[in-house]
Each structure stands twice: as C-alpha cells, then as structure tokens.
Amino acid sequence: MKFKFFTLALALPVLSFLASCGGEEEAAKPTITLETGGITANKDVDAGSKVSFKIKAVSASGTLSGVTIIATYGTKTVTVLDTATGAADMIFTKTIDAIGSPGDDVKYTFTAKDGNGASNSVAVTLSVVPVMASLDGQSGFQIYNANSSGLFTSFDLAKGIPMISGAAPVKDIMDGTTSGSSQWSKSWASANGSTFCKVSANDWVNASSTTYLFNLWKANKDKMTATYTNLTKDDVILVRSGQDLDFNLFILKITNVVDLPAAGNNNDYAQFDFKGVIL
C-alpha cells in the first residue's frame, strides 16, 4: 500500500506540469444578439426606408469595450456605429435609413468587443428593393465624342443633366473614346461604376414603373457590363447607376448616331431619350 501511494504522489506533479504546458486559454467571448423589436433575420427592405435593430451585448469579463455595426455591399463599406463603453452589458435600438440602392444585398455585421480583448459578431443581410413609382421621361440629349471641344461628353442620369465636365461620382455615362484618338469609338463608359445591358424594343415601350425596371434588371443582371459598344440607332439600353440612389435603374433609347467622316472633326455624337426616377 505504501508503494502504490508513493507512485501516485509522483504522478500528480507530472500531470500538473503537463497541464500547465497546454498553452494559454482563449479569453471568453462576449455575447451579442439581435432581439425582437428590431430586424433579427435576412429580409427585403424598401430603398430609403427606416430599418431598426435591437442589439443586446453582454460582457464575458464584466466589462465591454465597445460595439460596432459595419455595413458592406459590393466594394463599399459603411461604419454605421462605433461606440466605446465600459458597461457590463448593453441593450439598445439603432434606427437608420436603409443603406444601398435597389439590387444591393447589404450585410450588416454587429460586433461586441470585450474588455478582455475577445470579440463576437452576428450578421444579417438586407436586400434592397425599390418602392413602386411611375417613371419620368426626358428626351433629346446628346453625348459627344470625348475629344470634342465645349460639348457635352458625359451625363448624370439621376438629375437628367448633360455635362461638359463634372465630378466622377455623378458621371453615369461618358463617351468612351480614347483621348487623342482620330476615330470616334461609338462607345459609352462610366466614371462611377454604372453598368449597361442591351434590352429589347418592347422593354422601352413597356417600361413605365420602377417595378418593371427592377424585374428587367434581375433578369439581366449577369449581362451588365462596364462599357457599351457599337452604339446604334434604336438600341435600347438598361443602365444601373453607380450613384447611391433610392432608385438607380434607367432605360435609354438611342434615337440617332452621327459619325462624322471628316478627319479631325470630333463632333460625333449619340442622341437618346431616357426614363427613370429623375431628381
């Protein structure tokens, strides 16, 4: 019996030593939840509408260091909330205007940061859809060769304004001709990430509401491109503006294309009518 006791006595320090060599334990994480009384799961939301989140955060160590809300969509990131605190727990409601434009899937990530350095997150995705409204229409605009002088070479679809020069964020359409080129490219590009897709003549006739254009975009979103080439009379083009708008879809009809043959004459242009929600 004495020998067995002696063996056990030797084993205990060894086990204690091995346990102490197992590395540092990971700090306990705080908890963060989305509570009833606000959005708690993925859903569709109207563009520009109010959205509310009821957030509960509880420290694991007795002290929270902060809570953040970050919205991400496409290549964009928006900090909705970044607040410091020394409380043991928090429960509060945050109400904001829905971020993004129709067609955007906006991921909201809620993170609780603990005083012990650990953190924990929860996320929901809100898909932005348009509010039903009738479309406005305007006609008779021209976008000229980028190498022309004193003529409109870009266009702000949201306000229906042609521009000789202008800030990149509102250049939904700009002529795609390379600077100094002797030949007009008959193409459009964008300075703000707008995208283009050719659609049918019937779409031009039938497009009368935001709902129609949104459904048209959903059917063609995988075909949208950063440029539109070979501008041709009677082309009908769907454009998704790169601006952050409550409604960001427009439909255009090319009514004339003038390609001047004389060398050095850069007054070529494409003329168009368009429909959308114009500010």
Per-residue confidence band for 18, with pLDDT thresholds at 50, 70 and 90: very low
Q: pLDDT tens across 199-251, in order?
A: 999 999 999 999 999 999 999 999 999 999 999 999 999 999 999 999 999 99
Cα distance between residue 116 and residue 27, in whole Å: 7
Confidence at residue 93, expressed as pLDDT on a 0 to 100 scale: 98
Rounded alpha-carbon distances, angstroms, from residue 180 to 49, 85, 142, 183: 46, 58, 20, 9
Q: What percent of the chain has pLDDT over 90?
A: 87
Q: 3-state DSSP call for residue 233? A: coil
Q: pLDDT tens across 23-64, in order?
A: 567 889 999 999 999 999 999 999 999 999 999 999 999 999
Order of all β-strands in the sheet with 43-46: 43-46, 119-129, 105-114, 64-73, 76-84
- Whether the pTM exceeds 0.85: the reply is no
Give start and end residues of each alpha helix (H) in 42-117. Answer: none
Rounded alpha-carbon distances, angstroms, from residue 119 to 65, 83, 91, 132: 10, 14, 17, 41
Confidence at residue 16, expressed as pLDDT on a 0 to 100 scale: 47
Q: Per-domain residue ranges for the chain? A: 31-129, 136-276
Query: Beta-carbon neighbour count of residue 86 at 10 Å?
Result: 11
Q: pLDDT tens across 61-79, in order?
A: 999 999 999 999 999 999 9
Provide the sign of the torsion angle of the four alpha carbons 97, 159, 238, 212, taken in this order: positive
Q: pLDDT tens across 139-150, in order?
A: 999 999 999 999
Homologous superfamily (CATH) for 31-129: Immunoglobulins (2.60.40.10)
